[in-house]
Structure 1
Amino acid sequence: MRTLLNILWLVLAGFWLALSYVIAGIVCCVLIITIPFGIASFRIAGFALWPFGRTTVPRRDAGTASLIGNVIWIIVAGWWLALGHLVTGALLCLTIIGIPFGIANFKLIPVSLAPLGREIVVNGRSAF
């Protein structure tokens, strides 16, 4: 079931969502000082491409730099990304068929709001 949901997600929304995160990551990597945000955007792109069966957890070794980076990220981009996932998820949950895709959008909110200091895991083990 997870594979079917991932394929439907990929076709309906995941490809375009991941592509937008990749483009944002490229822009962040071109601007040298924002490379950590670019790497985080690439990580979010992978999660947005194939979200079912994976989740995010806080990294235990994340320090003060991740906290400062997340504050900057929230101010610059995180709040509108999270708001977009929230609105899209709520709209998708209006239909029975869209509920799993709405939940997938809700799963993307924490990582889009504060991507630094988070790790993507598959069934309790590290995905990357």
Structure 2
Amino acid sequence: MRSIGNILWLVLAGWWLSLGYFLLGLLACITIVGIPFGLASFRLARFVIWPFGRTVVFRSDAGVASLVGNVVWIVLCGWELAIGHLIAGLLLCVTIVGIPWGLACWKMIPLAFVPLGRRIVPISAANPDALGFGMER
């Protein structure tokens, strides 16, 4: 069932949302200072293109650098990505059939805002106490 969900997600919204993350990652990697943001963006692009069966967990070793990085991320590109997820979710929810994928898209909005200090893992490897937000399906 996850494979069917991922294939439909890929066709409906995953490819262009992932493309946005990938392009932002390339833009961030142009500067040396932006490389950590670019790597986080590439990691998110892989998650956004095929999300079902994986989830996001909080990293226990994330510190102040992640917090500062998330603030910079929100100001520079997090809000644009969150708006992309919001619009995609709205478009998917216009039809009754697309509502589950629209809701899944809205679950990714917090990740678009604060990606640093998170780790993407298969659902089977996730510790229930460490679950953050993501695709728990």
TM surpasses 0.5? yes
Contact kept in structure 2, 1:92 and 1:101, CA below 8 Å: yes
- Kindly report structure 1 stretches of 4+ aligned residues shifted beyond 2 Å: none
Match of 2:16 in 1: 16
Match of 2:69 in 1: 69
Q: CA RMSD in A?
A: 1.5
Per-residue CA shift, 1:31-62, capped at 9, x if unaligned? 11101100110011011110112221211110
Instruction: Tell me the amino acid that sits aligned with residue 123 of structure 1.
Output: I
Distance 1:114 1:27, change over 3 A: same
Gaps of 5+ in 2: 127-137
The one-letter amino acid paired with 1:116 is L
Tell me if structure 1 keeps the 8 A contact 2:25–2:37.
yes
Q: Which has the higher helix share?
A: 1
SS at match of 2:24: helix
Q: Percent identity between the aligned chains?
A: 59
Could you tell me how far apart the structure 2 residues matched to 1:73 and 1:90 are?
Answer: 24
Q: Hey, what does 2:45 align to over in structure 1?
A: 45
Tell me what 1:111 maps to. Answer: 111
- Range that drifts further, 16-25 or 113-122: 16-25
Partner in structure 1 of residue 94 of structure 2: 94
Task: Tell me which of the two structures has the higher relative contact order, counting C-alpha pairs closer than 8 angstroms and 6 or more residues apart.
Answer: 2
Report what 1:59 is aligned to: 59
Q: Which residue of 1 aligns with 2:79?
A: 79
Q: Deviation of residue 102 (structure 1)?
A: 0.6
d(CA) in 1 for partners of 2:80, 2:20: 14
Letter in 1 for 2:3: T
Instruction: Give the whole-Å Cα distance in 1 for the aligned partners of 2:117 and 2:74.
Output: 14
1:52, 1:104 within 8 Å by CA — same for their partners in 2?
no
Q: Which moved more, 1:56-65 or 1:74-83?
A: 74-83
TM-score (norm 2): 0.84
Aligned length: 126
**Unpaired stretches in structure 1, ≥5 consecutive residues:** none
